[in-house]
A = this chain, B = another copy of it.
Amino acid sequence: MADAKTPDLSEIASILEGLEETIIQKLIDRVQFRLNASVYEPGRSGFENEPNSSLFYLRLRCQEEMDSLFGRFKVPEERPYHKKLPPARRSYTPGDSPLKIADYDLVNLTPRVIDSYLDLVPRICRNGYDGHYGSSAEHDVYAAQAIARRIHYGSFYVAESKYRADPKHYREMIEAEDRQGIMLALTRPEVELKIIRRVAEKVEKLQDTGSTRIRTPLPPEPVSEFYRDVIMPLTKEGEVLYLMNRRRDEMPLTR
């Protein structure tokens, strides 16, 4: 089988920037509702026979079961939180992938994405209750999925692209299990700083609709901090994981 072409780093950056806008939009949707803290408390979902789960986790499970039937998790950057999901009912022929990994779930950071997302919610939502529990959980799931997609997309494609730009160096570090060295090679502080700033600006821009502000505003700071403290570190961890699990045998040395 021919190798799919090397993923282009500037194209990947564009896609990541698009996903950034999606994340911001999903968070704007979520903050239209109050925190509604009971959404996250086990046994308070309103569902019978679900004493151990919260409305949020029940919604996430149902969403992932549906998504699994439709084949979502065949896409590398779509990694599920739950294991044992029903198999896809849709036949699906994936295109050539440039990725070299035996199982996409070797890079599945979704459980940590969800934990971090749940820490973010009280920092962006107004306190209290408004009764919109179902809508809150629904938008939580969409936001968490968008964040996980961003992190996994970066993990897979940025790592593969950087590997191909300098395969000898990365292969040496992988063989030596030099995770720190890989992390260092992957880190570009000036790019990270640029992204963090851009995110804060975009949160403002995307809410400046030209008329009086009629929706509850999403504060920019917690979002750019979430990028700095969660999205970017987890993406790099995912890149290291990807590289440590990258298949050796199909290593292309040229494009």
Measuring CB to CB, which residues of chain A are less than 8 angstroms from any residue of chain B? 14, 17-18, 21-22, 25, 28-29, 32, 45-48, 55, 58-59, 62-63, 66, 69-72, 89-92, 95, 131, 134, 137-138, 198, 201-202, 205-206, 208-211, 214-215
Least Cβ distance of A74 to chain B in Å?
9
> A22 near B18 (CB under 8 angstroms)?
no
Known: A22-B29, A70-B134, A70-B138. 14 other contacts (CB 8 A): A14-B214, A18-B215, A25-B25, A46-B91, A55-B90, A59-B70, A62-B70, A63-B66, A70-B137, A95-B131, A202-B209, A205-B208, A205-B209, A206-B206
> A21 near B205 (CB under 8 angstroms)?
no
Q: Which 7 A-B pairs have the closest CB atoms?
A: A46-B90, A205-B210, A14-B214, A46-B91, A18-B215, A62-B66, A17-B214
Q: How many copies does the complex hold?
A: 2
Question: What is the bound-complex CA distance between A95 and B209, given in angstroms?
Answer: 32
> B134 near A90 (CB under 8 angstroms)?
yes
Least Cβ distance of A198 to chain B in Å?
7
Among A25, A91, A209, residue most surrounded by chain B Cβ atoms (within 10 Å): A209
A48 contact set on B, CB distance < 8 A: 89, 91
A22 contact set on B, CB distance < 8 A: 29
> A18 near B214 (CB under 8 angstroms)?
yes
Q: A47-B89, A70-B134, A90-B46 are in contact. Are A210 and B215 (CB under 8 A)?
A: no
Question: What is the bound-complex CA distance between A137 and B215, given in angstroms?
Answer: 27
| 6 A-B residue pairs with CB within 8 Å | A46-B91, A62-B69, A63-B66, A70-B138, A202-B210, A205-B210
Question: What is the bound-complex CA distance between A29 and B92, given in angstroms?
Answer: 22
The one of B21, B59, B215 in contact with A21, judged by C-beta atoms closer than 8 angstroms, is B215
Question: What is the bound-complex CA distance between A209 and B208, given in angstroms?
Answer: 10
Least Cβ distance of A241 to chain B in Å?
25
